[in-house]
Amino acid sequence: MNSFLLSLNPNLTPGYLLLFFLVALLLGMSKAGLSGFGLAAVPVMAMIFGAKESTGVILPMLIAADIMAVTYYHRSAVWKHILKILPWVAVGITIALITGKMINDNQFRLVLLSVVWIMLILMILNDLRKKKESDVPHHPMFGFSMGLAGGFATMIGNSAGPIFNLYFLSMKLPKREFIGTSAWLYLIMNTGKMPLQILVWKNISFDYLILGIISIPVIALGIFIGIRVVKLFSESFYRYFVIATTLITSVLLFL
């Protein structure tokens, strides 16, 4: 088995292979509702395969995890929130596709970190004031900015998690609707990225698809664990769990 995996990619030594399967487990847990776990996989995959190549390896794994999450949570999506930002997500992906090679990684991470922290602070302040509704999430510019930033971030480095977490948290969705709506958005977004990365960036190969297939059982285990753990969380605890993991992973993006 190990010799076969080494034939797919010489970097998959036993140590890196263990990390690869750990990434698959974290992706499954993240897609099942333990938001933030999947983003921790981004720097690990970049260490194993290289920054640009890692996005081609991880995308088929993400799609497999998205399909599993949608299968379980498919009835819980709130489609009006998806449709509100989906056109702007497409615009953000297009901009990233065109300008991706010209973007400085450190500058991009600084901007992303700034956006996430500003939105976190505003959202927490709104929660502390105990207002049930805020005008900001329903303003047209909010959906525009979140969709554009999220689309750009997902294409550049599969790092849109903090942005879309904040978007759905701002809508004050219950945990099951939060997970189901996120699952559908990511499935649509990631399947849309696949042909772009194959044809334009050319960083998804047949070998990478095989790696994605091999990771499916571990991803499924992560989905199972994530579903079981999320069921133990109360609605209020889950909200602040997502806020905390969003804060932590946004910092990890900048390291």
Backbone angles phi and psi of 15, in degrees to 5: -65, -45
pLDDT digits (tens, 9 = 90+) for 124-145: 666 666 555 555 566 778 888 8
pLDDT tens per residue across span 170-200: 888 999 999 999 999 999 999 999 998 888 8
Q: What angle do CA 66, 152, 12 make, to 5 degrees?
A: 55
| Separation between Cα atoms, residue 249 and residue 11, nearest integer Å | 26
Q: Bigger pLDDT: 29 or 109? A: 29
Measured torsion, CA atoms of residues 122, 171, 148, 41, in degrees rounded to the nearest 10: 90
What is this structure's pTM? Answer: 0.85
Q: Where are the domains of the chain?
A: 2-254
Of the pLDDT bands very low, low, confident and very high (cuts 50, 70, 90), residue 233 is very high
Average pLDDT over residues 57-75: 93
Number of Cβ within a 10 Å radius of residue 185: 26
How far CA 49 is from CA of 58, 96, 152, 165, in Å, comes to 10, 21, 22, 27
Collect all residues with Cβ–Cβ distance below 8 Å to 90 and sequence separation of at least 6. 151, 192
| 165 pLDDT above the threshold of 90 | no
pLDDT at residue 232 is higher than 90 = yes
Q: Rounded mean pLDDT of 243-249?
A: 80
Please state the separation of Cα 12 from the chain's center in Å: 24
Lookup: tokens for 31 = 């897609």
pLDDT digits (tens, 9 = 90+) for 195-227: 988 888 787 888 888 888 999 999 999 999 999
Greatest distance between any 2 Cα atoms in the chain: 58
Q: What's the pLDDT at 8?
A: 60
